[in-house]
Every structure is written in C-alpha cells, then in structure tokens.
Amino acid sequence: MSLKDRVTEDMKAAMRAKDAARLSCIRMLLAAMKQKEVDERIVLDDAAVVAIVDKLVKQRRDSIAAFQQAGRTDLVDKETAEVAVLQGYLPERLGADELAAAVAALVGELGASGPGDMGKVMGAAKARFAGKADMSQLSAAVKNALSTPAKG
C-alpha cells in the first residue's frame, strides 16, 4: 500500500473513531498533497509524500517555538499533537552516529574536501537522506564531515 493510500485509509479510520483532532490533521495533510498534485500536474509517489510531511512537521515545530514564546500553551498542545500524527507517516530516522557515518561515506564517494564543497554534498545528501534525517541535522553532519580532515 502506498503512503498516499495509507493516509486516506487513516482518514477513514479517524472518521469512524470520531477522532476530530486526528481527522483534522490528516485532512490538512491530504489537502497539502492534493495541492501539490494540482499545482505540478503530477501523481505523488512515497518520496514526494514524505517531503510534504517533513515540510509540515517543520512548520509545526516553528509554530510551537513561536507559541511557547507567546505563552500560548493551548496552541502548543494542538501543534504538538499534529506533529505526533504527522511523524507516523515518516520513515524511521537515522541516529546521529549513523547519519555522521553515512555522510562521511558520501563525502568520500563524491571526493569532496573542505567547506567549498558544501553545496555539492548537500545536494546529494538531500536526495539520499530525504525523510530519513532532519535537514538541520544533515547540514550539521555535512559541515562536520567537510571540516574534519580525511583520515588516510
């Protein structure tokens, strides 16, 4: 079953269970998916759905930070619940050590050396680790790998 089909099935299950908060979040995700399909005249594959979910999770986390500064715990709770629902559609994330090792291997494959190759490595890393790593963690791992002299 594709991820898109799973989201649709989860929406039906949330309707049956009368879980309004979950249903609202899933409908928001489906609307974002449909918008992308209409705008780009494509049919989304699992990778594209994961990218959309990633973007929505990032938006929610940014909102949580803003709401915490404003002291709006009611909205923080709502956004936190949405993040929990959305993360159910993301593949398992790589740990920090796994990510660092994978990025180091990628840097070696590309023959990159020094901070000047950051763009080249990030382009390849984004494609390879889409949905498997948080982009801010990925960026930090790439910077670290490029600043560390190669062992050999």
Quote the pLDDT of residue 149. Answer: 60
60: exposed, middle or buried (Cβ count in 10 Å: 0-12, 13-18, 19+):
buried
Average the pLDDT over 65-73 and give the result. 94
Which residue range(s) make up the domain with 126?
Answer: 96-147
Average the pLDDT over 23-40 and give the result. 96
Q: For residue 152, tell me if it sits in a domain.
A: no
Quote the pLDDT of residue 152. Answer: 40
Phi/psi of residue 130, each to 5°?
-55, 125
State the Cα angle at 27 between 92 and 12, rounded to 5°. 85
Same domain, 81 and 102: no
Tokens 């909205």 found at: 75
Report the candidate in 50, 44, 55 with the shortest Cα–Cα distance to residue 92.
50
Domain tally, the chain? 2
Quote the pLDDT of residue 150. Answer: 52
What's the whole-number average pLDDT of the chain? Answer: 88
| CATH number, domain with residue 100 | 1.10.10.410
Average the pLDDT over 23-51 and give the result. 93
The tokens of 91 are what? 């593949």
Residue after which a domain boundary falls, among 37, 56, 87: 87
What percent of the chain has a predicted confidence (pLDDT) above 70? 96
Quote the pLDDT of residue 96. Answer: 80
Q: For residue 47, tell me if it sits in a domain.
A: yes
